[in-house]
């Protein structure tokens, strides 16, 4: 993807989240997507994550090129966009990119304002995040958790980040920049990050693997700490504990109001003690200032570790620039 962008001098963007154009890791990308006059889909379905390519999310007169290994997705795009599909091809994204890279290059092609504008949108994060701090006694805001995680990944650049959970899973995607990241994908199911982390650790022995998940997501597979101990897989699991199913709570809060939110409460459970009972390492964090040292102790323990963080209950971010 980086090579293709360098060759063509047009933006090449990966979209892997069920939040699609609202994926916080893509910053303010939604704003520039709406201005595009041509979109090339490389193994990317024209689906709900792109709002099916409809206005105002995509310009009504935008043209399309669709490359995909699934003929059904080619047919779907043709049916939806009709004559605005300029070209479609049955191919996998990697082979398509390699074919394009093998073509003669236009030596006069240079980056233009559109590429720079798109990069600026992708990297944009609200200025107020940089100064955001919780009270001395917590709970920890997800932005502060992201800062501590970024510092850890800066010290361990070959580490892998795994994200999970309805709301908390979005915050590390928005605030942490890493070389290797694994999220729950377009399907958006929650709960798999502990098994994902075990697989990533088995594939990358000697390098840290940090999985960030909500307390609801942790409940699905917490017994896999036993697997981690038995197989010597020292994953670090950070549980953002706001004692609720926060994704559902935020929907109810928005649609019905706080007084009518129902069925979303969890207990403020001490999940780190589950890890300790199964032979792992546990940390309990109530203040942001203690996050960095807790992460380092978990790593130095050499054991599967759970860091239970008392987290402020906030909605996941939708990044837009101020007009």
For residues 312 and 139, is the Cβ–Cβ distance under 8 A?
Answer: yes
Q: What is the mean pLDDT of residues 263-282?
A: 96
pLDDT above 90 (res 121) = yes
For residues 171 and 146, is the Cβ–Cβ distance under 8 A?
Answer: yes
Q: What is the mean pLDDT of residues 83-92?
A: 97
DSSP letter at 263 equals: S
Residue 242 pLDDT: 95
Find out whether the peptide bond into 139 is cis, omega within 30 degrees of 0. yes
For residues 171 and 182, is the Cβ–Cβ distance under 8 A?
Answer: no
pLDDT above 90 (res 146) = yes
The CA-based angle 245-249-253, given to 5 degrees, is 170
Taking Cα atoms as reference points, which of 238, 247, 311 lies closest to residue 272? 238
Longest Cα separation, the chain: 63
For residues 223 and 173, is the Cβ–Cβ distance under 8 A?
Answer: no
Three-state SS sequence of 120-134: HHHHCCCHHHCCCCC
**Can you tell me whether residue 267 is helix, strand or coil?**
coil
Tokens representing 319 are 């990044």
Name the packing angle between helices 291-301 and 142-155 (round to 10°): 40
Residue 40 pLDDT: 97
pLDDT above 80 (res 76) = yes
**Can you tell me whether residue 218 is helix, strand or coil?**
helix
The alpha helices in the chain, defined as continuous H runs, are 2-8, 29-33, 71-81, 93-102, 113-123, 142-155, 170-175, 193-203, 215-221, 224-230, 246-256, 271-277, 291-301
Which domains, ranges and CATH numbers included, belong to the chain? 2-123 (3.40.50.1220), 127-310 (3.40.50.970)
pLDDT tens figures, 218-251: 999 999 999 999 999 999 999 999 999 999 999 9
Residue 186 pLDDT: 86
For residues 201 and 280, is the Cβ–Cβ distance under 8 A?
Answer: no
d(CA 174, CA 17): 12
pLDDT tens figures, 274-318: 999 999 999 999 999 999 999 999 999 999 999 999 999 999 988
pLDDT tens figures, 42-73: 999 999 999 999 999 999 999 999 999 999 99
Residue 38 belongs to what H/E stretch? Answer: strand 38-42
Q: Read off the pTM.
A: 0.91
Integer angstrom CA distances of residue 135 from 100, 186, 309? 52, 35, 15
List residues bridging with 212 in a β-sheet.
Answer: 163, 238
For residues 97 and 42, is the Cβ–Cβ distance under 8 A?
Answer: yes
How many angstroms separate the first and last alpha carbons of the chain? Answer: 30
């Amino acid at each position: 993807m980086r090579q293709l962008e360098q060759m063509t001098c047009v933006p090449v963007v990966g979209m892997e989240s069920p939040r699609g154009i609202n994926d916080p890791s893509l910053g303010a990308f939604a704003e520039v997507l709406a201005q595009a006059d041509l979109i090339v889909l490389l193994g990317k379905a024209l689906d709900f994550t792109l709002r099916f390519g409809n206005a105002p999310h995509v310009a009504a007169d935008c043209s399309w090129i669709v490359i995909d290994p699934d003929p059904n997705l080619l047919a779907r795009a043709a049916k939806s966009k009709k004559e605005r599909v300029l070209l479609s091809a049955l191919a996998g994204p990697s082979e398509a990119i390699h074919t394009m890279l093998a073509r003669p290059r236009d030596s006069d092609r240079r980056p233009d304002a559109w590429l720079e504008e798109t990069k600026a949108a992708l990297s944009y994060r609200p200025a107020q995040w940089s100064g955001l701090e919780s009270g001395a006694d917590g709970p920890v805001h997800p932005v502060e958790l992201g800062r501590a995680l970024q510092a850890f990944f800066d010290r361990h650049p070959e580490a892998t980040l795994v994200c999970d959970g309805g709301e908390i899973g979005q915050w590390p995607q928005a605030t942490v920049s890493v070389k290797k990241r694994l999220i729950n994908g377009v399907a958006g199911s929650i709960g798999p990050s502990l098994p994902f982390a075990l697989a990533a650790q088995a594939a990358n022995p000697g390098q840290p693997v940090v999985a960030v998940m909500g307390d609801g997501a942790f409940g699905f597979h917490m017994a896999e700490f036993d697997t981690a101990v038995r197989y010597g897989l020292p994953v670090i699991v950070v549980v953002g504990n706001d004692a609720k199913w926060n994704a559902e709570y935020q929907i109810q809060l928005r649609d019905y109001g706080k007084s009518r939110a129902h069925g979303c409460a969890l207990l403020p459970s001490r999940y780190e003690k589950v890890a300790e009972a199964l032979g792992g390492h546990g940390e309990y964090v109530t203040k942001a200032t203690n996050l960095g040292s807790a992460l380092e102790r978990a790593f130095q323990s050499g054991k599967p570790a759970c860091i239970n963080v008392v987290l402020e209950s906030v909605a996941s971010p939708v990044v837009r620039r101020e007009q």
